[in-house]
Amino acid sequence: MDCEMLVQALDQSKNKVGFMRTVAAISGFADRGNHVRRLFCKAGAVVSLLRSDFPFDDTESVRVVALRCLANVSCHPDSLLSLEKDSNFQKLIAMIWINANSNAIRCETAGVLAQIAAHLQPTKRKSDEVMAAAATLLDSLIDALPAVVRALVYVTKHVKDEETLLVVAACIANLSLLHSVTPVLELVCQQDCMSSLLLAWRNGYAATLFTKNQITGAVLGLSMQSFGQDYLMTQPSLAEFFIDVLNQCLPEKSLAEAEIAVRNRVVRRSLIILGCLLKRDEFRGIFLKSQGIIIYQKVLGFANRETTPRSFHNVK
């Protein structure tokens, strides 16, 4: 495998078929792990995948595939070094809110942004060079955050499949982790993000625990802030959502092997959130009426058996 050669082939592609094959090859190699992704970052793959001057027709389908590959490569924090240069991050952010772009492009852009947001968390360990790039990108993100959140809400309102909801919810969840250094939670409240996420869930686009996990991630930060709790109390279907989540996490439920791994994370998040929200009379009343407390107690018992009790000591 020669990462530089593959990136050069990407840059020199004169037709769609050749480009798609090269992107598929890069994605396949990147799946081997972060050590390979780092090599692609050093070889310039981030910039090549972000280019806008494709020399062939049907650029939308090409752009979608390129962004999906970019999300894979961007799992390595060294991707920040390329995004910091030549306004590349601004170009990426613009793709999510430019009206001319399709929801498919916005969705894949959200996937890349979800990865980048994870690297921007202050607690993440990084080299000095990557930390400096992260600080620069964070400033750019803060400036664009109102437009980004608005675009994410728009995509969520027009969701047509679960994969799109999964990606957008993951982006909102990862951005929410930046609440200590950005006004993201305030914007989530102001632009009523939860209404669109819960509507997509009611419409059947959050059937798996993978997607429910990302939605609970978006709720988690809000549940720990008083203004966030006030906002969540305006969501009449939130209690029903968590009853659905907990019901799917019951130990007697049959889950696919891949879902078993994510169940503990969903349970942990849900119990922490409910530990906060059940202190509110309005939420507790709805939860009790819906028999949610019975499922809650069953899942709590299961969680205490499956994990160390310390993980759940703060959940009442």
Cα separation, 170 vs 183, whole angstroms: 18
- Residue 164 one-letter amino acid: T
Find out whether 101 and 115 touch, Cβ atoms under 8 Å. no
Number of neighbouring beta carbons within 10 Å of residue 311: 16
Cα separation, 40 vs 122, whole angstroms: 25
- pLDDT tens, 253-276? 777 778 888 998 999 999 999 999
- pLDDT tens, 47-101? 999 987 777 777 889 999 999 999 999 999 999 999 999 899 999 999 998 877 8
- pLDDT tens, 146-156? 999 999 999 99
pLDDT band at 305 (very low <50, low <70, confident <90, very high): low
Cα separation, 27 vs 73, whole angstroms: 8
Nearest to 239 by CA among 224, 225, 223, 255: 223
Which of 94-103, 138-147, 226-235, 270-279 is least confident?
94-103
Residue-wise over 164-203: b if at least 16 C-beta within 10 A, else e?
bbbbbbbbbbbbbbbbeebebbbbbbebebbbbbbebbee
Q: Give just the sign of the alpha carbon dihedral 33, 35, 41, 44.
A: negative
